[in-house]
């Protein structure tokens, strides 16, 4: 019976210690949270600027619901598109230096929709092997041939591009890789896109708000502009709320508005959220002090945390993974940290390659230097434990 097969699949997850469960929080997002009744110091969220807990943002949400009440009521092209959605799109496009933008409910939906709108059967997608799952799913949905190149390997990518006879081509990459924290070589990728007549889709989920002048993102940081560039920013990480946007050249966005199925066939996000997101962009733009504090915490962790067996991976972003290797050891270390009130997620295959289980530390401007010291001290002690 179908249900027996499903139960066997669940049991198999249990056998391999791969069954995942949720921790339930009883307090707002921030470094100090109540989890299942316990006070914890958390290094897990992507709230890099500490905006999720920012009172001005909570107030903007209240003002948004006072002005726009509840849901959008329909999809954008039916009757679910509000003035404030347009205002947000205009603001976001200008902020990242693009001509136009489209606001979507989540980054997953943006990535699921963008590639299929640009390429299809007979075309090809070239994707970094460490790209986020949503980009992989978008590529599969596009039904184009999917060519994955080894992480950051520009010569492998160049070879694949040179050999391709596809009608239309798109290179797809994370800007900041979510489990490693390192940066894609965006300038070189754009040069390849130009040489081989490709789109270049850049998922800046972890860069928007953090990288570049005033947090304008990875493309602004690299000083890149081209009609080939399609920028995906997400609004649930540094922006502290929820949502995403796709930005680029005006004709490209005009086409996406006609063809992105994850935009067309879904209810518009609540206009109140768009209202609050305008405040979020303001806070990001005025957030140099937060970004400076974040950079100091990153430098502090890297200076403080001296490891021998484990390895703090090379990363200059708030994602600071500690490579442990063995799955069971990574889980045991995460549990030992948890037992002393420190919450750091262990990331195992298939999220990361076999043999590269790690702790994924993520830092926020809302952390203190003392928080970081406490984590570093605990990790160094646990590494020496037999
Ligand atoms: C989080 C994330 C997404 C998905 O964004 P959501 O808004 O959370 O759906 C997409 N890409 C990357 C690289 C991410 O880390």
Place of tokens 């184009």: 144
Q: Is 362 in the pocket of ligand 1 (CB under 6 A)?
A: no
Predicted confidence at residue 349, as pLDDT, reads 87
Among residues 170, 208, 204, the alpha carbon closest in space to that of 189 is found at 170
Interval 135-146 mean pLDDT: 97
Say yes or no to pLDDT of 16 above 90.
no
Q: Band the pLDDT of 213: cuts 50, 70, 90.
A: very high
Chain segment 52-97, per-residue pLDDT in tens: 999 999 999 999 999 999 999 999 999 999 999 999 999 999 999 9
Whether 147 is a known active-site residue: answer: no
- The response to whether residue 131 sits with its C-beta less than 6 Å from ligand 1 reads no
Question: Is it the case that residue 370 has pLDDT exceeding 80?
Answer: yes
Over residues 334-348, mean pLDDT: 96
Percent of the residues in the chain that have a pLDDT greater than 70, as a whole number: 100
Of 206, 275, 300, 367, which one is the catalytic site residue?
A: 206
In the annotation, is 206 catalytic? yes
The average pLDDT across 280-307 equals 98
Give me the mean pLDDT over the 130-156 stretch. Answer: 97
The mean pLDDT of 25-38, rounded to a whole number, is 96
pLDDT at 386 over 90: no
Specify the pLDDT at position 259: 98
State the Cα–Cα distance between residues 74 and 63, nearest whole angstrom. 22
Tokens linked to 340: 């002393």
Q: Which of the four pLDDT bands, split at 50, 70 and 90, describes residue 132?
A: very high
Query: Best of 106, 107, 115 to mutate for ligand 1, by most ligand atoms within 8 A of CB?
Result: 107
Q: CB of 317 closer than 6 A to ligand 1?
A: no
Pocket test for ligand 1, best of 52, 108, 263 (most atoms within 8 A of CB): 108
Quick one: pLDDT at residue 168? 98
* Segment 203-211 mean pLDDT: 98
116, pLDDT greater than 90: yes
* Domain locations in the chain as residue ranges: 20-49+288-384, 55-285
Q: Is the pLDDT of residue 17 over 80?
A: no
Residue 377 CA to ligand 1 center (angstroms) comes to 31
pLDDT at 18: 81
Does the domain spanning 20-49+288-384 belong to CATH 3.90.1150.10?
yes
Residue whose CA is closest, atom 10 of ligand 1? 107
85 dihedral zone (left: phi>0; alpha: psi -120 to 50; beta): alpha
356 is catalytic: no
Q: Does residue 174's CB lie within 6 angstroms of at least one atom of ligand 1?
A: yes
Instruction: List, for residues 236-251, the tens digit of each pLDDT value.
Output: 999 999 999 999 999 9
Work out which ligand 1 atom sits closest to the CA atom of 234: 7
Q: Does the fold of domain 55-285 match that of domain 20-49+288-384?
A: no
Q: Is the pLDDT of residue 315 over 80?
A: yes
Q: Is 132 in the pocket of ligand 1 (CB under 6 A)?
A: yes
Average confidence score pLDDT of the chain:
97
CATH number of 55-285: 3.40.640.10
Segment 353-368 shows an average pLDDT of: 96
Q: Which of 44, 112, 113, 132 to probe ligand 1 with, by most ligand atoms within 8 A of CB? A: 132
Position 224 scores a pLDDT of 98
The stretch 262-269 carries a mean pLDDT of 98
C-alpha of residue 234 to centroid of ligand 1, in Å: 6
pLDDT score of 350: 85
pLDDT greater than 90 at residue 20: no
Residue 19 CA to ligand 1 center (angstroms) comes to 22
Q: What percentage of residues in the chain have a pLDDT greater than 90?
A: 96
């Amino acid at each position: 019976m179908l249900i027996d097969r499903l139960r066997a699949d669940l049991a198999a997850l249990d056998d391999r210690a791969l069954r995942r469960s949720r921790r339930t929080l009883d307090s707002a997002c921030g470094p100090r949270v109540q989890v299942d009744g316990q006070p914890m110091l958390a290094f897990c969220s992507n709230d890099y600027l500490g905006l999720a807990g920012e009172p001005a943002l909570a107030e903007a949400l209240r003002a948004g619901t006072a002005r726009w009440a509840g849901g959008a009521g329909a999809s954008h092209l039916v009757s679910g598109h509000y003035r404030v959605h347009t205002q947000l799109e205009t603001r976001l496009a200008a902020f990242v230096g693009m001509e136009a933008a489209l606001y979507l409910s989540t980054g997953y939906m943006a990535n699921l929709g963008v590639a299929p709108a640009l390429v299809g059967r007979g075309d090809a997608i070239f994707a970094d092997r460490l790209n986020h799952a949503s980009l992989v799913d978008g590529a599969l949905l596009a039904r184009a041939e999917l060519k994955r190149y080894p992480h950051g390997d520009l010569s492998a990518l160049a070879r694949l591009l040179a050999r391709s006879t596809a009608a239309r081509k798109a290179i797809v990459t994370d800007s900041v890789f979510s489990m490693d924290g390192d940066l894609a070589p965006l300038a070189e990728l754009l040069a390849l896109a130009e040489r081989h007549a490709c789109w270049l889709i850049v998922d800046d989920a972890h860069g928007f708000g953090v990288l570049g002048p005033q947090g304008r993102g990875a493309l602004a940081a690299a000083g890149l502009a081209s009609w080939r560039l399609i920028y995906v920013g997400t609004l649930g990480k540094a922006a502290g709320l929820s949502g995403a946007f796709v930005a680029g050249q005006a004709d490209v966005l005009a086409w996406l508005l006609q063809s992105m199925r994850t935009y067309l066939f879904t209810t518009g996000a609540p206009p109140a959220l768009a209202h609050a997101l305008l405040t979020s962009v303001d806070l990001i733009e005025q957030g140099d002090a937060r970004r400076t504090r974040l950079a100091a915490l990153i430098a502090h962790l890297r200076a403080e945390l001296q490891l021998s067996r484990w390895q703090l991976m090379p990363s200059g972003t708030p994602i600071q993974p500690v490579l442990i290797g063995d799955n069971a050891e990574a889980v045991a270390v995460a549990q030992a940290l948890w037992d002393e009130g420190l919450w750091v997620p262990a990331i195992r295959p298939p999220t990361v390659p076999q043999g590269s289980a790690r702790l994924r530390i993520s830092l926020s401007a809302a952390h203190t230097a003392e928080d970081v010291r406490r984590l570093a001290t605990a990790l160094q002690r646990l590494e020496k434990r037999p």
